[in-house]
Amino acid sequence: MTLNGIPLHPLIVHGAVVFVPLTLVFAALLFLRRIRRTMTYMAGAAGVLGFIFVAVAHNTGEQLQEALPSNRAIIQHAELATTIMPLTFAVGFLLTVLAILELPAPVAVVKVRTRIQSYRVVLPLVRVVALLLAVVSVVQIVLLGDSGAAAVWFNVVR
């Protein structure tokens, strides 16, 4: 797929490069109690957008790979790309669940939530898991971006 003759993949990839690290920032801010509710909504939205951009970038990357002559750098980049989809999906899913749980609820539901001890344990645990997965996602995006840039620019720069 192209836009005015430019392959969509290098354009779409920039959305993932923005939203995956932004998800990490919002996930880290979930540990600040004063802004937790707002950051939960922001983290959920960024997580979903990050996953959408990663999914579209993955799809356009496969199309671009088919259109280009095969070489080792492109194959390595494609292999690295296989792990980013499940990672960003997991982060987006967990942060969306947290955002849904932060939605205003009737007083009776809030009282039940506060009485359930597991609710007090599970939510912080989900926040920690989401943060760790977001860190891994950012590391993977950096490695993936580096391998993609190397695949494109290695022979041009040398």
pLDDT in tens, 96-139: 999 988 877 788 777 777 776 677 788 899 999 999 999 999 99
Mean pLDDT value of segment 134-151:
95
Interacting residues of 130 by C-beta distance below 8 A, sequence separation 6+:
27, 30, 43, 47, 91, 94, 95, 98
Whole-number average pLDDT of the chain: 90
- What pLDDT shows up at residue 116? 67
Pair of tokens at residue 126: 């989900």
pLDDT over 60 at 156, yes or no: no
* pTM, full prediction: 0.88
C-alpha gyration radius of the chain: 19
Confidence of residue 153 (pLDDT cuts 50, 70, 90): confident
